[in-house]
Structures are given as structure tokens and as C-alpha cells.
């Protein structure tokens, strides 16, 4: 069995070799200590080499920060990065937000650009018109699994009118069916992270292609490099009556920091503002901690704006200057006085947690929440507007409740 051989994608050659093993490009028995070097090779300009490796490295760093398992380890230079050696899984996993391209050929009743509330995930068998000794009529056909068999379909014909053109019983991961669920979940999470990152850069992520692998310990990893050949983007703003742009992103001409600025997590802060001493917020902290990571920290301020307005103003000014990307949660047992005072002096969103808040807040720009759970939800939604990790986590939690509504063309 061969592992992580040379990868060819749309004319781009990515050579994979074992670190410290000369020109070897395969390993028969990958272990958790095996490391490979990914090298970009292209006849085009030097800047394109740098941009491809930089994009892939920045994407993988972002996904890793978001808790997604990737083979990438570290970038060595403008042309190479190291990765965990793993056995490739012969599926191309495609995640879609919109119906475009070949998806429309399989589902012609959909309008072009139809948006899916619930992400669509398809699997394509990586096979060049042959699987083992069995000939296939199409390269990389769409595959659906049931009854311990893989049913292969053409990707350029309506799926409702098709019978599978081939059925194979020795398909990849047959003995590990649970891996398909894992790949689906990881692919959706990766898509959502990159969707938010690209959205903040003024683009819409429409489609994402991923390849997975298994390391020596059997851990599932996103293995193949993710760069401008892995996704489809469309214009963020679509003018009425104008067909939106839809194409592979061209190699980025800007300096590498351009991609570094896109694919990174912000530094945010959740501020707990207590208006009294000895307020018990342990239950709230326990409830929200699963959403926190290195990108979101919690700080606590104890000060009543009603009793000590000058002290509250000073604390708020320091907070606004040092942590502008924040949300303030005010636990105000005596109403909304402190919340209103703070909200009038800052652009940071202020959420008042008080049963009486709704009645007391009139013209002040304060968000009222009658319970800890409501305040937590509002705060997380605000932070997720600029945070790809949190956005993906919240969206995945809602995914099972979402339904795709089809508008017939």
C-alpha cells in the first residue's frame, strides 16, 4: 500500500516526500512520527509558488486553531511545509452552499444560485475510469453508499432519472462506515470556518473540495493542500438582474500577508460586569465555557455605575481602548441603571441581564435579556459575526434544525 504519493491538481504539482528520506515519496507503514514535506512545483512565476503555499498554510493554521484535525504541521519556507504522513482516502468530499455547476446538471429543477440553508455534502470516488479491474464509464463518479455497497452515478445527468452505472463492493472505508459521518462533520465545519473568513473579505464561499487521510494511529485528517483550486467563490454583493461571478479564484497576486489577514481568528473578549459583590455567576460560566478558546477570553469587572459612576467610566474607558472587539454582559440585580449608563458611553454592545430590564430600558442602546441563557445566546451571536471558529460552532449546532427549501425553476 502506498501513502501520500505525488498530488496533481489542475496543473499544479505538489510533491510529497518523507522528511529526511531523500526523494522517497511513499511510505508503506505510516506511524504517528512520520512527517512528509509538501513541495509546490510550477513553471509559472515565483509569486504564484509563494501564494499557493502561503494560502494552504494559512488555511490549515486557521482550521487547526478552530479544532479541526489537519495533516499540516508547519510552513518551512515559501515553497514547502511539513505534514503528518497519512494514508489517503479515495474520496473527493464536496461541500456546497449554492446550486451551481455540475450540481445543476444532476438537479436541473433547481434555479442557478439556489442557496442551501443546510449544507449539501457529496462524495466522489477518486477513480480514473477504473476501480481495481472493473472499468468505469466516468472519471471520479458520484457515489452513494447503502447495503454495504457503493453505487456509482454520472455527475453530468439528472440524478432522479439515473440508475447506477456500476456497483462496487470493495469501496474505501467499507469496514469503517462511521468515517463517512466524521468526514461529513469535519467537511461542514471546515466549510463554515472558511465561509466566514471569506465573507469578511468580501466574497461568498460557494463550494469547497476536500481530501481526507488516516494517520498511523487511525486519526482522520484533512490531508490535501487547500488553496485556490479547492474552492469556488462568487461576488459578495449581487446586483439585481446581473448574473453573479462564479469561478475558481485566480492565484492571489498580493503579498502573502493578504491571505494571512483573511485566514486568522480575531482576539475577542467577553466582559462580565458585576454591579454587586459576591454575585454568583458560576452556572453561567459553566454553560458558556464550551464556546470559548484562545481567541475569546473572559474578564470580570466589579463596579456599580449607580453607586460609583466615575469609577465605572474609568473602567469602561480602559476596556474600550484595550479590548474594542468585545461584548459586555451586565449582571444587574437592581434593574438596568448600570447597563444604561455604560451603553451611553461606549460602542461596545451592552447586554443587561435583569428580569426588570425590559421595563426599565427606554431610549438607551441596551440589549435586554431576562435570563442567562438568552444573554449567552445574544453575546455569542454578536461575537460570531467576526469569528470563524465560533460562527462554525454555532451553525453546526443549528444544522440539524435547518431544512433546505427547494424553489423549482
Question: Is residue 251 a part of any domain in this protein?
Answer: no
Phi-psi sector, 371: left (phi>0), alpha (psi -120 to 50), beta: beta
Q: What is the mean pLDDT of residues 261-283?
A: 91
- Give the DSSP per-residue string, 47-79: HHHHHHHHHHHHHHHHHHHTT--BSEEEE-SSS
By C-alpha distance, which of 70, 50, 142 is closest to 102? Answer: 142
Q: Check if the beta carbon of residue 145 is closer than 8 Å to that of residue 151.
A: yes
- The tens digit of pLDDT for each residue in 69-120 reads 999 999 998 778 999 999 999 999 999 999 998 999 999 989 888 999 999 9
Question: Is residue 179 a part of any domain in this protein?
Answer: no
Instruction: List strand residue ranges (DSSP E) for 286-385, in order.
Output: 296-302, 326-331, 350-353, 367-369
Q: 216-228 burial, b if ≥16 CB within 10 A, otherwise e? A: beeebbbbbbbbb
User: What percentage of the chain carries pLDDT values higher than 70?
Assistant: 80
Q: What is the mean pLDDT of residues 333-355?
A: 86
Question: Is residue 360 a part of any domain in this protein?
Answer: yes
Q: Which residue has the cell 445566546?
A: 377
Predicted pLDDT at 35: 81
115-129, 239-253, 391-405: which has the minimum mean pLDDT?
239-253
- The tens digit of pLDDT for each residue in 37-59 reads 888 665 444 445 446 778 889 99
> Cell numbers at residue 259, please?
491571505
Q: Check if the beta carbon of residue 352 is closer than 8 Å to that of residue 367.
A: yes
Predicted pLDDT at 49: 43
Number of residues that this document lists for the chain = 409
Q: What is the mean pLDDT of residues 274-283?
A: 90
At CA 30, angle to CA 26 and CA 33, rounded to 5? 115
Q: What is the mean pLDDT of residues 255-261?
A: 52
Radius of gyration of the chain (CA): 25
For 320, phi then psi, to 5°, come to -65, -35
23-32, 212-221, 297-306: which has the minimum mean pLDDT?
23-32
Q: What is the CATH number of the domain that holds 300?
A: 3.40.50.2300
Q: Which domain holds residue 302?
A: 268-386
82-96, 166-180, 257-271: which has the minimum mean pLDDT?
257-271
Question: Is residue 177 a part of any domain in this protein?
Answer: no
- The tens digit of pLDDT for each residue in 152-171 reads 999 999 998 899 999 999 99
Question: Is residue 373 a part of any domain in this protein?
Answer: yes
Question: Is residue 172 a part of any domain in this protein?
Answer: no
Domain total for the chain?
1
Question: Is residue 343 a part of any domain in this protein?
Answer: yes
Residue 251 in this model has a pLDDT that exceeds 80: no
- The tens digit of pLDDT for each residue in 366-408 reads 888 888 999 999 999 999 999 999 999 999 999 878 888 876 6
Instruction: List strand residue ranges (DSSP E) for 158-282, in order.
Output: 166-168, 203-210, 212-215, 220-222, 231-235, 246-248, 268-274
At CA 397, angle to CA 224 and CA 213, rounded to 5? 20
The alpha helices in 203-336, defined as continuous H runs, are 257-262, 282-288, 309-322
Q: Check if the beta carbon of residue 148 is closer than 8 Å to that of residue 164.
A: no
Model confidence, pTM: 0.85
Pick the residue with more confidence: 27 or 385? 385
The segment with the largest mean pLDDT, out of 129-138, 221-230, 384-393, is: 384-393
Query: Which DSSP state fits 243?
Result: P
Q: How far apart are CA 206 and CA 188, in angstroms?
A: 12
Amino acid at each position: 500500500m502506498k501513502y501520500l504519493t505525488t498530488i496533481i491538481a489542475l496543473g499544479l504539482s505538489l510533491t510529497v516526500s518523507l522528511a529526511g528520506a531523500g526523494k522517497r515519496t511513499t511510505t508503506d507503514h505510516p506511524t504517528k512520527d512520520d512527517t512528509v514535506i509538501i513541495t509546490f512545483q510550477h513553471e509559472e512565476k515565483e509569486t504564484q509558488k509563494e501564494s499557493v503555499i502561503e494560502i494552504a498554510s494559512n488555511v490549515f493554521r486557521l482550521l487547526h486553531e478552530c479544532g479541526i484535525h489537519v495533516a499540516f504541521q508547519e510552513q518551512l519556507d515559501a515553497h514547502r511545509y511539513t505534514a503528518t504522513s497519512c494514508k489517503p482516502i479515495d474520496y473527493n468530499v464536496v461541500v456546497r452552499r449554492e446550486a451551481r455547476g455540475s450540481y445543476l446538471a444532476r438537479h436541473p429543477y433547481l434555479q442557478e444560485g439556489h442557496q442551501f440553508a443546510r449544507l449539501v455534502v457529496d462524495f466522489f470516488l477518486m477513480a480514473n475510469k477504473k476501480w481495481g479491474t472493473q472499468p468505469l464509464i466516468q472519471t471520479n463518479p458520484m457515489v452513494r453508499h447503502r447495503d454495504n455497497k457503493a453505487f456509482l452515478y454520472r455527475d453530468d445527468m439528472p440524478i432522479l432519472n439515473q440508475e447506477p452505472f456500476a456497483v462496487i463492493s470493495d469501496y474505501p472505508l467499507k469496514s469503517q462506515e462511521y468515517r463517512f459521518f466524521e468526514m461529513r462533520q469535519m467537511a461542514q465545519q471546515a466549510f463554515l470556518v472558511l465561509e466566514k473568513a471569506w465573507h469578511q473579505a468580501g466574497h461568498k464561499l460557494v463550494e469547497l473540495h476536500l481530501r481526507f487521510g488516516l494517520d498511523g494511529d487511525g486519526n482522520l485528517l484533512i490531508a490535501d493542500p487547500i488553496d485556490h483550486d479547492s474552492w469556488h467563490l462568487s461576488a459578495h454583493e449581487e446586483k439585481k438582474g446581473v448574473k453573479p461571478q462564479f469561478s475558481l479564484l485566480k492565484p492571489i497576486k498580493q503579498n502573502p500577508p493578504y491571505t494571512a489577514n483573511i485566514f486568522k481568528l480575531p482576539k475577542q473578549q467577553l466582559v462580565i460586569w458585576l454591579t454587586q459583590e459576591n454575585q454568583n455567576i458560576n452556572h453561567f460560566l459553566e454553560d458558556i465555557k464550551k464556546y470559548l478558546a484562545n481567541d475569546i477570553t473572559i474578564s470580570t469587572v466589579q463596579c456599580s455605575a449607580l453607586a460609583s459612576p466615575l469609577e465605572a467610566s474609568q473602567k469602561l474607558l480602559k476596556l474600550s481602548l484595550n479590548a474594542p472587539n468585545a461584548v459586555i454582559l451586565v449582571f444587574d440585580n437592581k434593574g438596568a441603571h448600570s447597563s444604561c449608563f455604560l451603553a451611553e458611553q461606549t460602542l461596545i454592545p451592552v447586554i443587561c441581564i435583569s428580569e426588570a430590564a425590559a421595563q426599565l430600558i427606554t431610549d438607551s442602546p441596551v440589549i435586554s435579556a431576562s435570563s442567562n441563557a438568552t444573554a449567552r445566546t445574544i453575546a455569542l451571536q454578536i461575537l460570531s459575526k467576526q469569528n470563524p471558529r465560533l460562527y462554525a460552532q454555532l451553525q453546526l449546532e443549528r444544522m440539524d434544525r435547518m431544512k433546505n427549501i427547494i424553489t423549482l425553476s
